[in-house]
A and B are shown apart, each in its own frame.
Chain A
Amino acid sequence: MQKGVFDDFVREVMQSREFVAPVKGDQTKEVQESFFTDIKDPSQIEIGQLTYFPIKYYFFAKKEVLFSFHKNRIEEPEIDIPERVFFGLRLCDLNSIKHQDTVFLNNGFRADPYYQARREHSLLIGMHCKKGDDHCFCQSIGLKDFYDLMFFDKDEHTYGIDVGSEKGKAFVDEFRRFFEEKEEGYITPEDKVTINTFKLDTTNIKNLWDNEVWSSLSEKCTACAACNNLCPNCHCFTVEDEVEVGDVTKGQRVRKPAACLVKGFTRVAGDHVFRDDLVGRFRHRIFHQLEFFRDRYGETMCTGCGRCIRGCPAKIDWVTGINTAARKQRGGQE
């Protein structure tokens, strides 16, 4: 695609679909930091920087009505999701969607219909990122190609586009006039490289469970759960019944995100709290991201976007913490 026709392309897509892309935040507005939203004009798009807020809430809603009830009658909601094109996702964002798919679609005997509806009406267009900033470390994780279409900044005038799925192909066919056919191998392995200066040492994490690094890292932690809420992968939720004051037999069952850093997360009947200790909760989050998820699904959950470090009020750099601890455990050998 020629860069010159990009704006026209966006405008044309917007005629039939919501076009969701990263935009800048505004301290005086409802969203204060950069985020994804359905844009009204191509000039809003801001792809230079990783967004502060994750993409996940488009699929894993902040409040999802599972069903409404009245006495013993249950009614499932009609899920009406507009057709959406997501643009400007980085490979870390895309992989986080892949991981959410693992949890909500391919986990157990049936897919989650609410999540599924949101995913089915989406088309994922990536934007390759050549160089990470001070907090991202996706190279250390090893992300997979997962997209319908991926844009690469080929040169001054051209976007190279890789088609990653049937859905992506059908989309290209629909908007044929903006795209040019290229030979196989047009997108080279060099195009796909992302350079990180920040790295995570993943070789020895399993052995760090009893390490003192967790208490030193969580020294500054206030359990505010910004890391949970900004993480594109965190998918834990809680389910509540909301009844009506006028008739308490009538109401809705809703699903909301839950954060494992706060104490109430592991509180059970009888007021027992399983992970009472903040250090344990902190460690659990990192281990779920790097170990437990992989043990179960074969992939590291963390996608190395670094939002948890950028968004942390204390800027707790657990990556460097782990690197140092791992090095120490090996006796200081590199």
Chain B
Amino acid sequence: MWLYSLIFYLLAAVILSSTLLAITRRNLVHMVIYLIISFFGTGLLFFLLGAPLLAALEVIIYAGAIMVLFLFIIMTTPSEGDQEKLKGEDPTCQSCGPIRLLHTGLPILLATTLLVVAGLFIFADPEIRVALNPAMASPAVFGRFLFERYWFPVEVASFLLFVGLVGAWYLGRDGLGAGSMARVPQSEEAESENRGEA
């Protein structure tokens, strides 16, 4: 049981510290990397608490799909994070060797801790497996439960995802956002420039 507690405290420390680091980053790509570490830790925590299917879904949906979507939007929008600059993050600073070491060392430390915890899961002695097994809800049992007891909310959730898809398409289609609204002032500017030249 002490290994169980050790894994929990390690995971809690990794999740909390990486989330805290994520929300204080200026660079949004660094923020995404820290959050991916945090979501991997959360997935391991779900596994520890007896939800293997949700652990897989956490990694696939949160760390995979949602974070890649964020990364995509961060890459396509001009970097607005530079405007929120705080002091102490000057890249040309000479005396920030330790700080820069911390910046590269912390993600490595967090990721290594996660790997060690995952290794503890895989190579844990049989005793621990026995301690964890009674609480474990296998994906088959959980899926059967979900579609027997909660079939209607599942349908509602699928409809919600469909509405989200249509909403995202509607907001992102040509002629609504970046298209027409940005084009009108640009053409006016071009016209005024032409008039000025004339």
A binds B: no
List chain A positions with a Cβ less than 8 A from chain B: none
